[in-house]
Amino acid sequence: MTMPCQALVLDFGGVISRTLFETHDLTEAALGLAAGTLTWRGPFEPEGDPVWRAMQAGGISERDYWTHRMHETAALVGEDWTDFPQFVGRVRGADPAAVIRPEALAAIQTANAAGRKLAILSNELDLFYGADFRTKLPFLADFDVIVDATYTGILKPDPRAYQAITCALNLPPEACVFVDDQRKNIDGARYAGMQTVHFDVTDPAQSYDEALAALGISASVTAV
């Protein structure tokens, strides 16, 4: 019988925060663009997003994908954005809490109350959002560990990324459930010995329910 996991390890973008694909209306409003200007939809409409398909096929990296979208979006407003924090700051404004998934907050609170450890393993948390981003999200104080490849330079699915998080938690891999929306990162975590949930951005509540179940917690976030 598999024992419940003792730690919830989350990716950030897409898992904790709503994706930029889901907030085109907010982006268009922030930039003064007409509704419907932004048409790239990534996992929500892969057939209409060839750049996303190229990334999923391994032809480009996730950072390459967002670099492309950053320059493309900047050109629409006649600007030249040189880094991701500038990109995110322009399209999401000064209130990042507004795009945090309520399902994520519910699951984090539930896991924390049940005494499970909390961790984030991200490829580009501060690179993408900016170094002061964390101060705007009080719930991050509940996390025991945050490992960010912005500083380590070790990107998922490199086995060393998963080793870094399990070592920081002082837990064996099999005691951690890892949640990510990218298949290659899930495959890397499984190879490293972690339990995994491949996060479905189109059904976040179900994915968090699966993660809580792996932690031995029967509470559901479906109604959030």
pLDDT of amino acid 222: 56
Q: Give residue 224's pLDDT.
A: 42
Tokens for 24? 């085109």
CB 7 within 8 A of CB 179: no
CATH superfamily of 7-17+100-214: HAD superfamily/HAD-like (3.40.50.1000)
- pLDDT in single tens digits along all 224 residues of the chain: 467 899 999 999 999 999 999 999 989 998 999 999 999 999 999 999 999 999 999 999 988 999 999 999 999 999 999 998 899 889 876 677 888 999 999 999 999 999 999 999 999 899 888 888 888 899 999 999 999 999 999 999 999 999 999 999 999 999 999 999 999 999 999 999 999 999 999 999 999 999 999 999 987 885 44
**Model pTM score:** 0.88
Q: Using CA atoms, how far apart are residues 98 and 94, in angstroms rounded to an integer?
A: 9
Supply the DSSP string of 27-48, one letter for each residue: HHHHHTPPTT-----GGGSGGG
Strand, coil or helix: what is 198? strand
**In this predicted structure, what is the pLDDT of residue 2?**
67
Please state the domain extents for the chain: 7-17+100-214, 20-95
Residue 164, phi then psi, degrees to nearest 5: -60, -40
Q: How many CB atoms are located within 10 Å of the residue 151 CB?
A: 10
Give the pLDDT score at 223.
41
Question: CA 214 to CA 146: how far, in whole Å?
Answer: 21
For the beta carbon of residue 183, count every other beta carbon within 10 angstroms.
11
Whether the ω angle into residue 157 lies within 30 degrees of 0, i.e. cis, is: yes
The DSSP symbol for 138 reads G
